[in-house]
Structure formats: structure tokens, C-alpha cells
Amino acid sequence: MQHQPVEQGQLVDQDNFQKVKEEFSSFLETHGHRKTPERFAILEEIYSRQDHFDADALFMDMKSKNFRVSRATVYNTLEILTNCNLVIKHQFDSNNALYERAYGFKQHDHLICKGCGKIVEFCDPRIHGITSMVGELMKFKIDDHKLTLYGLCGDCQD
Amino acid sequence: MQHQPVEQGQLVDQDNFQKVKEEFSSFLETHGHRKTPERFAILEEIYSRQDHFDADALFMDMKSKNFRVSRATVYNTLEILTNCNLVIKHQFDSNNALYERAYGFKQHDHLICKGCGKIVEFCDPRIHGITSMVGELMKFKIDDHKLTLYGLCGDCQD
DNA sequence: ATCCCTGCAAAGGGTTTGCAGACGC
DNA sequence: GCGTCTGCAAACCCTTTGCAGGGAT
């Protein structure tokens, strides 16, 4: 079983990325956080990616491009970005968290191949019906969900 | 924010537990694993619980009852039990995995309160419709899923 | 000038592993 | 008796933390 990252998701054009930077900037401002070059460099690196990556991959990637960052700052910035909803953090099955950018993309869920580890995205509007109904039934105010399907992809069957 | 375990789920009567033991026993046999007293003691401890627990809680619990087990054996047995579908392993958001028994209970999903950490279970048949449709669309053979909803429970609202 | 943020390295916490003795089979 | 399982403790890996210097405000 060979796990591999998957390139997927829409591209981010320059206009959208401008909006992302502004959103991050104002979030930092309103929360009393400084606007450091490291934070924006990390944001940029994340938005140039299209896959689900872990903190270390991001760190190594920036190192290889001669950005001078530390793991501590990568983790710190990932947390801030998660808090302001520009990044989504996933705890799939492995020990380490996976992240993906989140601005301007349709809400989606994931399909994971147990054979090769491939991660595929999908959307299904019916999930909203389920969340709102269950929330009402259980007296919860639901504001988020994670749905992950597991199986074998076309290549890994038979 | 004070996280607390939740007592929930159906009780396991003696008849059902007998079946569970037999299932475990034959799984061990067919897979060339030995039937050690530790493994059955751990199975029994798990099925006497009704909550979502982590490996260490299970370990401490057995220690407190003067079972002589090691963490290594607890982890080992949890993995075997997960493989034979008598236990489900969850990677919610915390660093540590949570487990729950899985025999003879309806398939269900989870609702997690972001306030107090309470975990509530629910069933919704529509999920099967989604999994089968998405599987067909994406050419995946789906055989499992995890749906988790996040929000605030009645007690933690306002 | 303040004091938050950074880099570095060490600590932390859950899980896995290596090894010698124990015990199913 | 063979070969796996166990307990113990150390190793491992990802993530967080402590600290001293640096830079945003």
C-alpha cells in the first residue's frame, strides 16, 4: 500500500489570493496579532498548493524554496489560519493532521482510498439536510461537520 | 471548557457478549493469533463500558481492577479488535484516538459539543444514500464512513 | 521602546518497538 | 518445544513549549 498525495481542487487566481491576504490581514489586526512576513509567506505557500498536506511537508517545502521559517512558526500560523477559516485542519486516520486551504472553495467532503491513500473531494447537498435535522432533534447548534467515506478507488479494486 | 465523557449506548446482555467472545475467538483462530487471557480480559473490559474511551483510560481502568496488563498489550489488542470489527477506532480532534465497542449496535454517527466535549450518537439513513451515490459517481467501492457534526449542545448554548 | 514573534532545541504526550522471559499451541 | 505474546522501558513521531534575540507597532 503506497500512499500518495493528490493534486486536486480549483486554482486560486491572483484576484482571489488578494482577497485572502486582505482577510488574513484584517483578522490579524482585529485580534491583535502582528503582520509578520513569515505569516504571509506561509499563507502564500499554502494557497499555491492544491493538495492535503501536513505541517512538516509545508515546512520542508518552504525550506527547499529558501524561505527561512521554523516549525514553530509554521504550526503557529496554521493555527491562526485555521481560526480565521482560511485553512481547514483534518484529523483523518494517520497520527498527523492534514491541512487544506479553505477560501473561495465550495464546502466539500472526502473520499479516502484504503489501498493507495488517495484523497478525493466531493459535494453532496443532502448533508446539510442531515446536519440541520439532527441538530434540531438533539438540541445542538451545529456549525460544522466532517464526512469521510472509506473504500477502494478504481485503480485499487480487484 | 470542561470536557467530560458521556455514558450512552445500549447495554450488552450476557447472550450478546457470549457471541462477541465467540466471534473474537474464531477471528483469532483463523488469523493465527493466540487466545491469551489478556486479550479476552481486554475485550470484556471494553464491552462493560458504554462510552468513547482512549487507550490509556482502558489501561488505567484495568490496572485499577488489578488486571495485570501492559499498555503494549492494550494497544495490540485494540488493533486486533478493530480489524475484526468488534471495536471502532475514532480520530476525532484530540491527539489521542477514541474507541468504542461495535458489536450488535446500530451503525451510528457522532455529534460533538465544542463547549463541553460531550459526544452524542445519532442515526440517519440518508447517509447510506449519499455513500452509495458518491461511490458510484467516483468509481469507489465504499465500505465505511465517518460523519461527525460539531456545535454547541443545549447546556452550552448562550 | 515595548513586547509579541521568531528560530532553535528541548520537552511533552500518545503510540510503537525491542528484548527477554512466559505460555498458548 | 516452538514461536508468538507479554511486560517493561526506551524509542519514536508529531506537536508544543521555553528562552533569548529580533522586528512590528
Instruction: Tell me the backbone φ, ψ of residue A119, rounded to 5 degrees.
Output: -115, 125
Alpha-carbon distance B148 to B48, whole Å? Answer: 25
Chain A CB contacts of B137 under 8 Å are 122
**Which three cell numbers mark A139?**
438540541
**Is the torsion defined by CA of B136, B137, B138, B143 positive or negative?**
negative
Residues whose CB is less than 8 angstroms from the CB of residue A13 and which lie 6 or more positions away in sequence, other chains included: none
Instruction: Mark B28-66 as b/e (b = at least 16 C-beta within 10 Å).
Output: beeeebeeeebbebbbebbbebbbbbbbebbbebbeeee
Strand C atom within 7 Å of A71 CB: yes
pLDDT: is B16 or A130 the higher one?
A: A130
Longest dimension (CA), chain B: 55
B85: distance to nearest CA of chain A, Å? Answer: 15
DSSP, collapsed to helix, strand or coil, labels residue A134 as: helix
A89 touches strand C (CB under 7 A): no
Q: Residue A152: beta bridge partners?
A: B141
Cross-chain residue pair B127–A124, CB shorter than 8 Å? no
pLDDT at B2 over 70: no
How much is the average pLDDT of B41-62?
96
SS3 call for B64: helix
Return d(Cα A112, Cα A96) in angstroms, integer. Answer: 16
Interface probe with B: pick from A138, A155, A156, most Cβ of B within 10 Å: A138
pLDDT recorded at residue A2:
43
CA A95 → CA A55, B80, B150, distances in Å?
12, 18, 21
Q: Is the pTM of this model over 0.85?
A: yes
Tens of pLDDT, residues A79-134: 999 999 999 999 998 899 999 999 877 889 999 999 999 999 999 999 999 999 99
Q: What mean pLDDT do residues B91-114 have?
A: 91
User: Which pLDDT belongs to residue A4?
Assistant: 46
Q: Which of residues 72-111 of B touch strand C (CB under 7 A)?
A: 72, 75-76, 79, 95-97
- A106 compared with B95, residue with greater pLDDT: B95
- For residue B87, pLDDT over 50 is answered with yes
H-helix or E-strand spanning residue A22? helix A14-30
Average pLDDT over chain A reads 91
